[in-house]
Every structure is written in structure tokens, then in C-alpha cells.
């Protein structure tokens, strides 16, 4: 490791140097030590008790206690939610309470609340029952009244008939009527039943009594609160008329089975009225009792809600502390706890300070011992990012976390990612829209970061700095492409070209002539709408994509050089980096050179032809396609170099690795006794010597070489997506502009124009600003992950996740 050398700080380029540390903590100050380390948040504990199950560990009971308290807090939260209170994020007064006190307090509060709930539930049930009873009385009363009325009416009619035409009346009628008194007295059961069960209820009743019942049901319009389940249900009032005791039993049983609530009812109207008044009286009485109870309950919950957040944080912290304590192991004397873990080197002082403070605060006689261990285990990767670089680092981490101290592509991603995006999204009108939208997010950062957002919003908010960079760059490329919602503006002076004569009739046939200096910045606006616009822009963007691609791939290979140098890997420099550079640049570097030469000289050489015949017949003369003197011989030289570079990449490295391994093996055995015992132990733990399999290395190198050789062709071609997407974007936006906005304008009607504007706005926002942004984003992502990072990035590290209270409170559901 390059420790003594004086290097500039490489904050983001190389991950923080880490060390494996062991802390020996006296038992009495362990809790405080862990809590201070948690506040510091720069120590990642290793689990030293992996073989023990959670409940066998030392502090299992404390963890259980904390869980129990967390459960009580969840109960309170539930109650607060019911009361419609949102816990105030900042508690009004945060009195310091210890865990034990809190436990007692929580227990008391819970018991109180539960008792209150039970009481109010009982009252509520009685209340609901009475409500249902009232409904039954009302509905059933109506039934009996109307039945009685119709019965008397019938009777009167029949009597009237008898008087009128007594001769015609059937003889038996008299008997029928007089039998009224002899008739069997019908019993009835009344109550309420859930509406969706009523059909089955009726069916079963019918079957059970063989049809010897009469069931009447009445809808109740509003849903009723069921006394037992306390849910709002749609119900029917029913009255079942039955005859006989056995039928009655059956009906009652069926009612019970269906969860139908039965209520007594009399057919005496006087009694009915009396019952109604009685029930109404009871109801109002209960209502006041319930209200008083509710008020009391509300005040208790209110009191809890003030402290809830504070308590919740405390319990969470305590739980995490005990959870961490469970990862430590006891040393032999059982008086100390031993912790092992990773921490960044720069944090050593801070950690030691925290340990000192813990010793003093807990009045411990012995301080914790902090020592650094040597380990062959790969340390975790830790980048100190800020809110700006974080989202770019996330983009890199999504592909793979960098190996420890490996060169981090995140540094370059900050600029190259938005730039490549903007190449595909070049339109300064769209760029400004995107910029304003993101600016709004950034300005309201404070309020947004504290609240919960939806899925998509969360994503946009998380990447707000990426998006704002993307929009700034796309404003820039938009100026270069000279497009504002696909309309060109001559902001930087007048166009360089003009018509030959004022009538401008020959503009399409003869072309324009150059009258002024070249347009100073970006594409000359005169190209817009001409017949040669597309060929010109395509040629420009295609060549530009290749230049950008070759540049970025070269950067990737150069970073692989820095990696090799950093890890002192000369083999990689000589047998990987150099041939790769030669191969890529002799083919595509040369192409880039040709492109630039062509641009500078204005030559009409056909670059396809040059490149293709450079391979097919390198000895032929170039004729018209010659750009500079000696081009043919340079091409032959480059071709030879490229051909040599392939076996250079392929052959020597595996053999050299084999030799190196053999040497190390022999040498290692010779000076092994020099290693201290501890070191050896560590090495054995981390797997000892790695096995060297020559064939495997050879195959690996073969694959790597083939991948690079083929990849340099296909990756360069892959960068052409920059051109393709940029073309698609500008064509789409010009279609929306011309076929929607200009077409609508052409009708000379305000209504059509308004419709056109609305369609244009929706198309621009939906297709260009959202979908195109996504697709350009994905393509930029791919160019970084595949074309750029495969040149150097291993990405097989693991993240540093320290024990930190700040992270715990962030992880809240």
C-alpha cells in the first residue's frame, strides 16, 4: 500500500482507506461506547457470534424488551391514527427518560388505554345495539300497523259485502272469519341480518321448517354499525313468523348461526310507543357517556402523541444498540467485550475520542482498548459523497460497488453522464423546461426530503442533481444544434450564407453562397428546412459520436493504467494497457484523426472507403481519398501494429502470472517464519494461498482479449446511438411543431389553434420531456456501464455500512 507517499487527496477517485480495528470494552461501559459510536456512525461491526442464534446471545432479553416496547408504541400509533393525530415531528419537550422508566411508563399508558378502549367498546356496543333495536321497532311497527289497518279494512269490507249481497256470499265465508279466535297464535322473531347473508338465511329457514314460516325483510338504506364486529354493514330488518315451539327453536338456532341480532318486539301499539321512548332516552344517555369517555381518551392520546416521536427514536436507538452488542463476543475473562469491525483511517481519532468520552461518562476505571489488526480480508468500499455527488455515485453502484480503492468511475460520471445524455437530448427549449422543473424540486428540497413521496416522484427527487446537470448540458448542446423546440434562432449573429440574388430562386438548385464569416457558435440556422439539412446533420452527429466514443473509451483504458499503477501491477501495464491503447488507437484513433482532418481541410475523401480498404487491400493506392502525404504507409504501419497488439495481449500475461506465482510460492516458503504468528493466523482465516490454475488463467485471458478486440469495434458502433437518439429527438420535436402547432395555426381559427396548442403541450411534455428523457437516460446509462466501465472497472467490492443512528431513523418503514 502506498502509505508514505505524499499524494493529493483522492476523495472520490479512490475509496477511503479502511482498517480493521478491534475494540476491547469493559462490560460496564459497553452500552455507552456503542451508543457514542452509533452517534459517530463510522464503524461497521462484524458479527462475531454468527454461530449463535438470536435468542442465545448475551443481550437477547434486552432486545426482546425493546421489541415489546416497540409493539406498545405501534399500538399507540394505531390509537393516534384513530384519533386523527399525526405525531408532531418535534416533540414539545424532550425530557430525558431512561429505558427502564420508559418501559414502566409505556406499560402504564398501554394498560390505561386498553382499559379505556374496553369500556368505550362496551358502551359503544350497547349504543349500537340500542340503535339497531330502534330500527327494528320502527320498521316492524310500521309492518304491524299497516297489517292491522289492512286487516280492519278487509274486515269492514267483508262485513259491508255481507250486508249488501248476503245471498251471493259463499256459505263458508262466515265460518272462515269466525274462526279467527280459534286460530293458532303465530309466534315471531324480529331482528337484523347482514344483507348479503339474507338470501342464504331465507333459504335455510325455508328448508329447515319445510316452508312453514313467513319471512319479511325490509331494507335499511344507511349502513348500520354492527355491535359485535363494529363495522359498518348493510343490513335488513327481518320478521319471521312461525308456529309452534319446535319451529321457534330452529329459527332461533338459525338466527344465531347467521349472526343475526334478535330484538324483542310486541304487537301492542301502546307498549311499542313506550319502548321507543325508553330506547331513545337510553340512547341519549349513552351518547353523553360515550362522548365524555372519548374526550378523555382523546386527551390521553394527545399527551402521548407529543412524546411519541421522542420515545420511538429512543426505543429504536436502544434496540439497535443491543442488537450491535449482540454481535460482540466476550473475552476469556468475561469482563470485557470484544468488538471487531471496519472503520475509515481518518476516523481513528474521532473514534478514540468517543471511546474516551464513554469511559469518562460511565465512570469506568479501565478505558476501552482500540487496536488495529492486519487482515487479508478485502475491506469495504466507502466514498464520502455529498448530496450532489451521491446520486452519481448511486448510478455507478447500481452496476457494482467498486473494489476497495479501485479507480471510481463516479468521478467522471458527474460530467460525462449528463453530457452524453445531452448529446441525445439537444434542444435548449426542452432543456429549459427540464431545468425549471428540477429547479423547483431543488428549491423545495427541505420540505420534500422530510415527507414521503410517491414512487416516481421519489426517483425524480433522488436524482434531482443528476437531472439538473442533464438539463444544463442539454441547453448547451441545444445551442450547438441550434434548436429551440426544433426551431433555429440566430442568436449569435447572422447566418454565413445568403442567396446569390435577392429573389432567391436558385436557393434549392444552386445552393447558397458564403457571404460572411462562419457562424460563430453551433449549427448555422440556415440549414433548417433545406433539402440537405438531414445529410448534413447526420454526417456531423455521426462523426461527433465516434469522436466522443473513442475519447471516452480511451479514458477508460487510461484509468486502467492508473489502477495498474496504484496496485503495483506491472504486468497489466505492459501486457494489457499498452497493447490495448495501440489496438484501439491504430484503428479507431486513426479514424478520429481522419475525421478531424477532413473537417479541417474540407476534403471530399470517402472515409468508409478508406477504412474498409485499409483492411481489404492495404497496398492499393488511395487515389482521391488521400488526405495527407504518406497516408498509405501510415495505414500499413497501423495495421501491423494492430495485428501485433492482439497476440501481445493474449500470450505473455498468463505465462508471466504463472512464473510470478511459482516464484512467490518458492520465496513464500522460504521467509514464512519471518511473519508474526498473528499475521499467519489472519491469512489462514481469509483462505490462505489462492490456487493457481494455469488453464483457467489462459482461458480467462483469451476471453478477455477476444472481448476487447471485438468490443472495440462493437463499442465504437454502439456510440452511434448518440447520433440515432439525437436524430430521433429532433425529428420528433419538429414533427410536433410542424404537424401540430403550425397546422393548427394555418386554419386561422382560434378554437383550432387552442386545441393545437394543447395537443402540442401534451405531446411535448409526455413524449419529449418524459419518455425521451427516460430513453436518453437509459442509453447514457448503458454507454457508461458497458462501453466505458468494461475497460477498467471490476466492481466486485462491498459497501461500507456503518452502525449509525442517523441511518436507523432514515430507515423508518
Partner 1 sequence: MYGFEAMTFNIHGGYLEAIVRGHRSGLLTAADYNNLCQCETLDDIKMHLSATEYGPYLQNEPSPLHTTTIVEKCTLKLVDEYKHMLCQATEPLSTFLEYITYGHMIDNVVLIVTGTLHERDVQELLEKCHPLGMFDSIATLAVAQNMRELYRLVLVDTPLAPYFSECITSEDLDDMNIEIMRNTLYKAYLEDFYRFCQKLGGATAEIMSDLLAFEADRRAVNITINSIGTELTREDRRKLYSSFGLLYPYGHEELAICEDIDQVRGVMEKYPPYQPIFSKLSYGESQMLDKAFYEEEVKRLCLSFEQQFHYGVFFAYMRLREQEIRNLMWISECVAQNQKSRVHDSVVFIF
Where on the chain is the footprint of partner 1 (CB under 8 A)? Answer: 53-56, 60, 63-64, 67-68, 71, 74-75, 197, 200, 203-204, 207-208, 250, 253-254, 256-259
**Shortest distance, CB of residue 100 to partner 1, whole angstroms?**
16
Question: Of the candidates 67, 76, 65, which has an alpha carbon nearest to the alpha carbon of residue 100?
Answer: 65
Q: How far apart are CA 315 and CA 285, in angstroms?
A: 42
Closer residue to partner 1, CB minimum distance, 41 or 259: 259
Closer residue to partner 1, CB minimum distance, 234 or 445: 234
**Shortest distance, CB of residue 314 to partner 1, whole angstroms?**
19
Q: How far apart are CA 152 and CA 172, in angstroms?
A: 20
At 419, which helix (H) or strand (E)?
helix 410-424
Closer residue to partner 1, CB minimum distance, 55 or 629: 55
Closer residue to partner 1, CB minimum distance, 204 or 611: 204
Residue 237's alpha-carbon distances to 187, 196, 219, 534, in angstroms, are 17, 13, 7, 78
Residue 162's alpha-carbon distances to 56, 153, 175, 183, 647, in angstroms, are 96, 14, 13, 22, 126
Closer residue to partner 1, CB minimum distance, 67 or 707: 67
What does residue 349 show for φ and ψ, rounded to 5 degrees?
A: -65, -45
Closer residue to partner 1, CB minimum distance, 256 or 620: 256
Closer residue to partner 1, CB minimum distance, 227 or 380: 227
**Shortest distance, CB of residue 66 to partner 1, whole angstroms?**
11
Query: If you search the block for the grid coordinates 476516523, which residue do you land on?
Result: 347
The gap between the terminal CA atoms of the chain, to the nearest Å, is 41
Closer residue to partner 1, CB minimum distance, 197 or 565: 197
Q: How far apart are CA 119 and CA 126, in angstroms?
A: 11
Cβ atoms 695, 520 nearer than 8 A: no
Q: How far apart are CA 255 and CA 208, in angstroms?
A: 12
> Which residues does 261 contact at the CB level (< 8 Å), separation at least 6?
129, 132, 191, 192, 226, 227, 228
**Shortest distance, CB of residue 55 to partner 1, whole angstroms?**
4
Rounded to the nearest angstrom, the gap between the alpha carbon of residue 629 and the centroid of all alpha carbons in its chain is 58
Q: How far apart are CA 565 and CA 576, in angstroms?
A: 12
Query: If you search the block for the grid coordinates 448530496, which residue do you land on?
Result: 387
Closer residue to partner 1, CB minimum distance, 70 or 123: 70
**Shortest distance, CB of residue 75 to partner 1, whole angstroms?**
7
Q: How far apart are CA 313 and CA 158, in angstroms?
A: 83
Closer residue to partner 1, CB minimum distance, 100 or 621: 100
**Shortest distance, CB of residue 31 to partner 1, whole angstroms?**
20
**Shortest distance, CB of residue 299 to partner 1, whole angstroms?**
24
**Shortest distance, CB of residue 259 to partner 1, whole angstroms?**
8
Closer residue to partner 1, CB minimum distance, 69 or 557: 69
**Shortest distance, CB of residue 207 to partner 1, whole angstroms?**
5
Closer residue to partner 1, CB minimum distance, 17 or 259: 259
Give the Cα-Cα-Cα angle 475, 476, 478 (nearest 5 degrees).
60
497-498 and 513-514 as β-strands: parallel, antiparallel, unpaired? antiparallel
Residue 383 burial by Cβ neighbours in a 10 Å radius (0-12, 13-18, 19+): buried
Cβ atoms 736, 768 nearer than 8 A: yes
**Shortest distance, CB of residue 64 to partner 1, whole angstroms?**
6
369-373 and 44-45 as β-strands: parallel, antiparallel, unpaired? unpaired
329-330 and 261-263 as β-strands: parallel, antiparallel, unpaired? unpaired
Closer residue to partner 1, CB minimum distance, 55 or 93: 55
Question: Of the candidates 219, 225, 259, 226, which has an alpha carbon nearest to the alpha carbon of residue 139?
Answer: 219
DSSP-based helix, strand, coil % in the chain, nearest 5: 65, 10, 25
> Which residues does 9 contact at the CB level (< 8 Å), separation at least 6?
none
Cβ atoms 144, 267 nearer than 8 A: yes
HSE on the CB side for 227, CA within 13 Å? 20
Closer residue to partner 1, CB minimum distance, 61 or 98: 61
Closer residue to partner 1, CB minimum distance, 226 or 787: 226
Closer residue to partner 1, CB minimum distance, 14 or 250: 250
Residue 622 burial by Cβ neighbours in a 10 Å radius (0-12, 13-18, 19+): middle
**Shortest distance, CB of residue 651 to partner 1, whole angstroms?**
45
Task: Give the torsion sign (CA, 634, 635, 636, 641).
Answer: positive
Residue 396 burial by Cβ neighbours in a 10 Å radius (0-12, 13-18, 19+): buried
**Shortest distance, CB of residue 236 to partner 1, whole angstroms?**
16
**Shortest distance, CB of residue 208 to partner 1, whole angstroms?**
6
**Shortest distance, CB of residue 46 to partner 1, whole angstroms?**
19
Query: If you search the block for the grid coordinates 476491547, which residue do you land on?
Result: 24
> Which residues does 133 contact at the CB level (< 8 Å), separation at least 6?
263, 279
Residue 398 grid coordinates? 447500481
Residue 85 grid coordinates? 393525530
Cβ atoms 66, 313 nearer than 8 A: no
Residue 751 grid coordinates? 378554437
**Shortest distance, CB of residue 189 to partner 1, whole angstroms?**
15
Maximum CA pair distance of the chain?
A: 139
Closer residue to partner 1, CB minimum distance, 208 or 571: 208
**Shortest distance, CB of residue 53 to partner 1, whole angstroms?**
4
**Shortest distance, CB of residue 339 to partner 1, whole angstroms?**
22
**Shortest distance, CB of residue 805 to partner 1, whole angstroms?**
22
Question: Of the candidates 260, 310, 354, which has an alpha carbon nearest to the alpha carbon of residue 36?
Answer: 354
Q: How far apart are CA 781 and CA 649, in angstroms?
A: 28
Closer residue to partner 1, CB minimum distance, 68 or 309: 68
Amino acid at each position: 500500500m502506498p502509505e508514505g507517499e505524499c499524494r493529493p487527496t483522492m476523495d472520490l477517485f479512490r475509496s477511503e482507506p479502511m482498517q480493521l480495528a478491534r475494540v476491547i470494552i469493559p462490560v460496564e461501559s459497553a452500552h455507552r461506547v456503542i451508543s457514542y459510536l452509533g452517534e459517530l456512525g463510522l464503524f461497521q461491526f462484524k458479527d462475531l457470534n454468527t454461530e449463535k442464534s438470536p435468542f442465545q446471545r448475551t443481550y437477547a432479553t434486552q432486545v426482546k424488551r425493546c421489541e415489546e416496547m416497540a409493539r406498545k408504541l405501534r399500538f399507540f400509533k394505531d390509537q393516534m391514527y384513530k384519533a386523527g393525530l399525526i405525531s408532531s415531528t418535534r416533540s414539545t419537550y424532550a425530557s430525558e427518560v431512561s429505558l427502564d422508566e420508559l418501559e414502566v411508563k409505556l406499560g402504564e399508558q398501554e394498560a390505561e388505554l386498553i382499559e379505556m378502549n374496553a369500556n368505550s367498546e362496551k358502551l359503544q356496543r350497547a349504543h349500537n345495539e340500542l340503535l339497531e333495536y330502534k330500527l327494528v321497532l320502527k320498521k316492524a311497527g310500521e309492518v304491524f300497523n299497516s297489517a292491522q289497518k289492512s286487516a280492519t279494512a278487509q274486515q269492514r269490507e267483508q262485513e259491508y259485502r255481507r250486508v249488501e249481497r248476503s245471498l251471493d256470499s259463499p256459505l263458508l265465508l262466515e265460518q272462515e272469519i269466525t274462526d279467527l279466535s280459534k286460530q293458532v297464535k303465530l309466534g315471531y322473531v324480529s331482528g337484523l341480518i347482514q344483507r348479503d347473508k339474507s338470501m342464504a338465511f331465507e333459504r335455510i329457514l325455508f328448508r329447515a321448517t319445510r316452508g312453514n314460516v313467513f319471512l319479511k325483510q325490509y331494507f335499511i338504506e344507511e349502513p348500520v354499525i354492527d355491535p359485535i364486529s363494529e363495522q359498518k354493514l348493510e343490513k335488513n330488518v327481518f320478521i319471521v313468523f312461525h308456529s309452534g315451539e319446535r319451529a321457534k327453536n330452529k329459527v332461533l338456532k338459525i338466527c344465531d348461526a347467521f349472526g343475526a341480532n334478535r330484538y324483542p318486539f310486541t304487537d301492542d301499539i301502546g307498549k311499542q310507543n313506550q319502548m321507543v321512548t325508553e330506547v331513545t332516552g337510553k340512547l341519549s344517555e349513552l351518547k353523553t357517556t360515550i362522548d365524555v369517555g372519548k374526550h378523555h381518551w382523546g386527551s390521553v392520546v394527545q399527551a402521548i402523541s407529543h412524546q411519541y416521536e421522542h420515545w420511538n427514536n429512543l426505543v429504536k436507538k436502544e434496540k439497535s444498540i443491543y442488537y450491535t452488542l449482540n454481535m460482540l463476543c466476550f473475552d476469556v475473562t468475561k469482563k470485557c467485550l470484544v468488538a471487531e469491525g471496519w472503520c475509515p483511517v481518518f476516523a481513528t481519532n474521532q473514534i478514540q475520542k468517543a471511546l474516551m468520552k464513554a469511559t469518562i461518562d460511565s465512570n469506568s476505571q479501565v478505558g476501552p482498548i482500540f487496536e488495529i489488526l492486519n487482515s487479508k480480508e478485502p475491506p469495504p468500499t466507502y466514498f464520502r459523497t455529498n448530496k450532489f455527488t451521491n446520486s452519481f455515485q448511486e448510478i455507478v453502484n447500481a452496476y457494482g460497488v467498486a473494489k476497495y480503492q479501485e479507480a471510481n468511475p463516479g468521478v467522471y460520471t458527474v460530467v460525462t453522464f449528463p453530457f452524453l445524455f445531452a448529446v441525445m437530448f439537444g434542444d435548449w427549449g426542452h432543456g429549459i423546461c427540464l431545468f425549471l422543473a428540477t429547479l423547483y424540486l431543488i428549491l423545495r428540497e427541505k420540505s420534500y426530503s422530510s415527507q414521503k413521496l410517491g414512487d416516481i416522484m421519489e426517483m425524480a427527487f433522488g436524482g434531482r442533481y443528476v437531472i439538473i446537470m442533464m438539463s444544463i448540458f442539454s441547453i448547451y448542446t441545444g445551442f450547438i444544434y441550434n434548436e429551440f423546440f426544433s426551431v433555429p434562432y440566430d442568436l449569435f449573429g447572422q447566418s454565413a450564407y445568403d442567396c446569390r440574388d435577392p429573389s432567391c430562386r436558385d436557393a434549392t438548385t444552386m445552393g447558397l453562397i458564403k457571404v460572411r464569416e462562419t457562424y460563430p457558435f453551433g449549427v448555422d440556422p440556415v440549414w433548417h428546412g433545406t433539402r440537405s439539412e438531414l445529410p448534413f446533420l447526420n454526417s456531423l452527429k455521426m462523426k461527433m459520436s465516434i469522436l466522443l466514443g473513442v475519447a471516452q473509451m480511451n479514458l477508460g483504458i487510461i484509468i486502467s493504467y492508473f489502477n495498474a499503477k496504484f496496485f503495483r501491477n506491472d504486468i497489466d501495464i505492459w501486457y494489457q494497457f499498452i497493447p490495448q491503447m495501440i489496438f484501439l488507437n491504430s484503428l479507431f484513433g486513426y479514424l478520429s484523426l481522419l475525421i478531424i482532418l477532413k473537417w479541417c481541410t474540407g476534403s471530399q475523401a470517402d472515409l468508409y472507403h478508406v477504412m474498409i480498404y485499409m483492411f481489404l487491400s492495404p497496398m492499393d493506392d488511395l487515389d482521391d481519398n488521400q488526405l495527407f502525404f504518406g497516408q498509405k504507409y501510415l495505414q500499413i504501419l497501423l495495421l501491423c501494429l494492430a495485428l501485433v497488439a492482439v497476440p501481445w495481449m493474449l500470450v505473455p500475461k498468463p505465462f508471466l502470472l504463472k512464473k510470478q506465482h511459482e516464484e512467490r510460492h518458492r520465496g513464500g516458503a522460504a521467509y514464512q517464519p519471518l511473519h508474526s504468528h498473528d499475521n499467519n493466523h489472519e491469512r489462514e482465516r481469509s483462505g490462505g494461498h489462492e490456487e493457481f490454475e494455469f488453464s483457467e488463467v489462459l482461458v480467462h485471458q483469451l476471453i478477455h482479449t477476444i472481448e476487447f478486440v471485438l468490443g472495440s469495434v462493437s463499442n465504437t458502433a454502439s456510440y452511434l446511438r448518440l447520433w440515432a437518439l439525437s436524430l430521433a429527438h429532433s425529428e420528433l420535436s419538429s414533427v410536433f411543431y410542424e404537424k401540430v402547432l403550425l397546422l393548427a395555426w394555418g386554419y386561422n381559427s382560434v378554437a383550432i389553434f387552442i386545441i393545437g396548442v394543447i395537443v402540442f403541450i401534451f405531446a411535448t411534455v409526455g413524449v419529449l420531456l418524459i419518455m425521451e428523457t427516460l430513453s436518453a437516460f437509459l442509453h447514457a446509462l448503458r454507454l457508461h456501464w458497458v462501453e466505458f466501465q468494461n475497460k477498467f472497472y471490476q466492481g466486485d467490492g462491498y459497501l461500507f455500512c456503518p452502525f449509525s443512528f442517523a441511518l436507523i431513523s432514515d430507515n423508518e418503514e
